[in-house]
Amino acid sequence: MDPSQIGLFALAEQRLAWADQRQAVLAQNIANAATPRFQPSDLPSFASRLASAGRLPLTCTQPDDLPAPGAGTSQSVVEANPHGPDGNGVELDTELMKVADTQTTQSLVTAIYKKYLTMFGEALGHNAAS
């Protein structure tokens, strides 16, 4: 059985791909911290990427159901700060915090992915020790 055919694993792979792309964008920002008039960029949040994936809206089917949440918030591309060093918008402390946050996301998703693979293997009777 191919794990990528399971929705949970497909979502984890999408999240890891997003994190990989974001790390590349943030690395580009950091590499150009001293480039005059360079404007940093960022990816839209993963939540906004999921929201734009065309999911069906939630519907209340019982009178006691909680109302469905709104469309949700999405982050757009980060606005440039023209008052940074060298006349560019790169703020190293902000970019490094984003890198650390993205790395934490990658570690968390990878750990969850591995744990679910182990659980599926045990449920199917495969020996995890081999």
Q: Are 80 and 89 spatial neighbours (Cβ–Cβ below 8 Å)?
A: yes
Predicted local distance difference test score (pLDDT) of residue 71: 39
Sign of the torsion angle spanned by Cα atoms 110, 111, 114, 120: negative
Domain range list for the chain: 3-56+71-123
Q: What is the pLDDT of residue 123?
A: 86
Are 84 and 90 contacting, i.e. CB atoms less than 8 angstroms apart? yes
Query: Does residue 86 register a pLDDT over 90?
Result: no
- CB atoms < 10 A from the CB of 102, how many? 19
Confidence (pTM):
0.65
Tell me, what's the pLDDT at 47? Answer: 84
pLDDT value at residue 79? 47
Q: What are the pLDDT digits (tens) for 36-84?
A: 888 899 998 888 877 766 555 566 666 776 665 553 433 334 444 555 5
d(CA 1, CA 117): 11
Direct distance between the N- and C-terminal alpha carbons of the chain, in angstroms, rounded to an integer: 18
pLDDT score, position 74: 38
